[in-house]
Structure 1
Amino acid sequence: MASKTVSVMAASKTTFSYDFYGSKPTDLIYQGDAYFPSDTTYLRLTKTDSSGTPEQERFGRIIYTEPIQLWKPDAQADFDTTIRFILKPSSGRHTPADGLVFFMVPLDYTFPTETSGGNLGIYGGPDCPSVFAVEFDIFANDEWDPNFPHVGINIESRASQAVTQIPQSFIGKEVELKISYTAATGVISAVASDGKQRVEASYECGLKDVLQQQVQVGLAGSTGEFAAKHDVSHWDFHSALPEN
């Protein structure tokens, strides 16, 4: 079953941790394909058929039910989050797609209807006001992606402002993605590791100028013309807003 701890104090501190073992936590919102299939104990974000083959043009999302207080006029929160997952292509398919994303969106955000493929389960076009995301993108979309799999930091855009290349060996293995934001410096860091290799992307941006005071946080994944399994084994998140 899923293991979880949560602590929320004075709407200024949020901590949660999930280890997904086949059960369905009740304080997550499940959208699109997100489900727990019978052939794995992980949370699967994109649909597979009865033989376990990933399907094309699919998406799935999970969203934490409680709002996250990210800033107030006199203070900003630091945050960090860790996701462990496997993006695994089916045997015989040589081009896996599309990727997984951690996102922050407004509380009243309406997700576009068509978010499969390079939209990574959250986008509907190139411009995305008040949306922040970090993507683990394993398929290069010619219009906006670099021509290699990458970790990308996205500020109000489907295209990444900062990228670092992902080794091909990360695809099909369990990867840990650590994302952090330090409000004092505005530095966003995203580090991906398979336990042997490590890559990092970083970008400087004051998220107070981008995001609303309260946001929703979540994970999403998608497939397009090509596909892969998008399985998540762990997700934790911590934010702390200074009390003045």
Structure 2
Amino acid sequence: MSVVSMIFIFFLFLLNNVNSLSIKFRRFHPQLDGISFQGDAYSSNGVLQLTKNQLDAPIGGSVGRASYDEAVHFWDAKTGEVTDFITEFSFVVKALNNSSLFGDGFSFFFAPIDSKIPKNSSGGFLGLFSPEYAFEPSKNEIVAVEFDTYSNAWDPIFPHIGVNLNSIRSLGYVQLESDFKKGSVGHALISYNSDSKFFTVSVTYDNIPNFTSEISYIIDLRKFLPEWVRIGFSGATESLSFEFSTFQPNSNSIIFQGDAFTSNGVLQLTKNQLDSPIDHSVGRASYKERIHLWSSKTGKLADFTTKFSFTVKSVNSSVLLGDGFAFFIAPFESYIPHNSTGGLLGLFSPETALDISKNNIVAVEFDTYSNAWDPVLPHVGVDVNSINSIGYVEVAARHINKGFTAKASISYYSTIKLLEVLVTVPDQKPPYSVTYKLAYVIDLRFLPEWVRIGFSGATGQLVETNNISSWSFRSSL
């Protein structure tokens, strides 16, 4: 979770306009005239705070805007003349509690003068777009430069500076320098030349001399914005997030069942000792807190994304593996069923594994052995109340039996009820990685309002080791 602060200077020039305008703020005081606040934004200690910034209170799901309180004449409807402008500001993005997980970022925006924070626009929507219309340019009227600190499903895979035109998906972007995570002071300059229609963003940092991040994009801003606009900043954080870059034996954030344990900084889901039998092993590792999946009061479902890296390894150089592991969502009181080793993956009992009326679980399985109910090849599958996957993608054997570390991303988009799975594995051939994709439309409200999330793994007569080396999770509720 991060807090976004705008500090030091906000400096705006508008040139070649009927009414030229110059604005300058060196510090931001609580009673300062000229700034309008929405949501959680406020001023403190001479800076603008766009989101909540209190260590003794929840700061998740925070969203705020701070904007100039007068309309800015951006272009002339009579003459078609568009203003040139330049704006400069300094900023700090800072994590709380020394967390390495940031989210979500802030933006400088141009919007209609009556623009307000959309509903449910926290997290990756940055207080700019509603989830319903975030990807529909025809439904929006906003231009923004985003400083995005977390990679959502629609984002590049790295923190970035992006130019957004009526959509949360950036049309152009450049990587955000990693030193921003250290609370470095950044200095942004955004300019527009109406003749060339060049929209340019450049960012420098105090602690990185002779370094500039820059992006340029050709835009006719008259096509996207009204004659009179509001200018300002918008920022947001996500409601729930956690991240484990490593797993410590004494961590109290993970609940273990069965044979699961931690060793050498990773989660081991099944037995992993060459000097003792490791067949017919089963284990679970789950987050200790319950997760709010949907609201019984409003019916609103959470949007969520979980990412993890994992390794499946054979034992004694065997080419035969068994049986796999899964990421699961289940009732909070869920435990490992009896006799659920092997192909049941610690998720289902043999008696009810194929009876959807007797189960209450959703899982994404990474299945390395073909049982009677499985496809003929190893696969990634979506399981809904049954061990029989309702959707799957087959995986080449060479991608799972070599002990490679793979990366998985599982996202749920509540507005379209879409569960999306992406799995990227190294490959020995160019481009040296392969991504498997799987999507399934499902309304998750058949699950309890509050759920447990975690991993489950099992071996049968065939064995393997299933290790999770990192894990992050973010949700909008």
TM-score by structure 1 length? 0.82
**What residue number does 1:20 align with?**
27
Q: Is the 8 A contact 1:28 1:65 kept in 2?
A: yes
**What residue number does 1:67 align with?**
71
**What residue number does 1:31 align with?**
38
- 2:61 matches 1:57: yes
**What residue number does 1:223 align with?**
237
SS of residue matched to 2:21: strand
Question: What are the Cα deviations for residues 175-215 of structure 1, in whole angstroms up to 9, with x where unaligned?
Answer: 11111111101110011110322101111011011111111
Q: Is the 8 A contact 1:106 1:211 kept in 2?
A: yes
- 2:173 matches 1:163: yes
**What residue number does 1:174 align with?**
185
Distance (whole Å) between structure 2 residues aligned to residue 5 and residue 96 of structure 1: 27
Q: After the TM superposition, which residues 198-237 of structure 1 pair with which residues of structure 2 at under 5 Å, given as runs?
A: 198-224=212-238, 225-226=240-241
Structure 1 residues 209 and 27 mapped into 2: Cα distance closer, same or farther (>3 Å)? same
**What residue number does 1:78 align with?**
84
Displacement after TM superposition at 1:107 (Å): 2.0
Distance (whole Å) between structure 2 residues aligned to residue 97 and residue 89 of structure 1: 9
Paired letter, 2:50: L
Question: What are the Cα deviations for residues 23-50 of structure 1, in whole angstroms up to 9, with x where unaligned?
Answer: 331221111111134xx43221110225
**What residue number does 1:190 align with?**
201
Displacement after TM superposition at 1:65 (Å): 1.2
- 2:155 matches 1:145: yes
Displacement after TM superposition at 1:150 (Å): 0.6
Q: Is the 8 A contact 1:187 1:204 kept in 2?
A: yes
Paired letter, 1:97: G
**What residue number does 1:237 align with?**
none
TM-score by structure 2 length? 0.43
Distance (whole Å) between structure 2 residues aligned to residue 215 and residue 84 of structure 1: 22
Displacement after TM superposition at 1:7 (Å): 9.4
Paired letter, 2:129: Y
Using the TM superposition, name which of 79-88 and 20-29 deviates more: 20-29
SS of residue matched to 1:208: helix
Distance (whole Å) between structure 2 residues aligned to residue 5 and residue 137 of structure 1: 22
Q: Is the 8 A contact 1:22 1:42 kept in 2?
A: yes
Q: Is the 8 A contact 1:99 1:135 kept in 2?
A: yes
Structure 1 residues 69 and 90 mapped into 2: Cα distance closer, same or farther (>3 Å)? same
Distance (whole Å) between structure 1 residues aligned to residue 232 and residue 52 of structure 2: 18
SS of residue matched to 2:142: strand
Displacement after TM superposition at 1:60 (Å): 1.0
Q: Is the 8 A contact 1:133 1:155 kept in 2?
A: yes
Distance (whole Å) between structure 2 residues aligned to residue 17 and residue 132 of structure 1: 21
Indicate the RMSD between aligned Cα atoms, in angstroms.
Answer: 2.6
Q: Is the 8 A contact 2:84 2:192 kept in 1?
A: yes
Structure 1 runs, 4 residues or longer, greater than 6 Å off:
2-10
Q: Is the 8 A contact 1:96 1:226 kept in 2?
A: no
**What residue number does 2:102 align with?**
96
Distance (whole Å) between structure 2 residues aligned to residue 15 and residue 35 of structure 1: 23
Give the total of aligned pairs: 222
Displacement after TM superposition at 1:12 (Å): 1.9
Displacement after TM superposition at 1:56 (Å): 1.1
Structure 1 residues 11 and 200 mapped into 2: Cα distance closer, same or farther (>3 Å)? same
Distance (whole Å) between structure 2 residues aligned to residue 64 and residue 133 of structure 1: 15
Structure 1 residues 11 and 115 mapped into 2: Cα distance closer, same or farther (>3 Å)? farther
Structure 1 residues 57 and 146 mapped into 2: Cα distance closer, same or farther (>3 Å)? same
Displacement after TM superposition at 1:3 (Å): 8.8
Q: Is the 8 A contact 1:54 1:89 kept in 2?
A: no
Give ranges in structure 1 of 5+ residues lacking alignment.
Answer: 228-244
Paired letter, 2:37: Y
Distance (whole Å) between structure 2 residues aligned to residue 5 and residue 117 of structure 1: 27
Displacement after TM superposition at 1:226 (Å): 4.3
Q: Is the 8 A contact 1:46 1:54 kept in 2?
A: no
Paired letter, 1:45: L
Displacement after TM superposition at 1:15 (Å): 1.1
Displacement after TM superposition at 1:87 (Å): 0.4
Structure 1 residues 69 and 122 mapped into 2: Cα distance closer, same or farther (>3 Å)? same
**What residue number does 1:135 align with?**
146
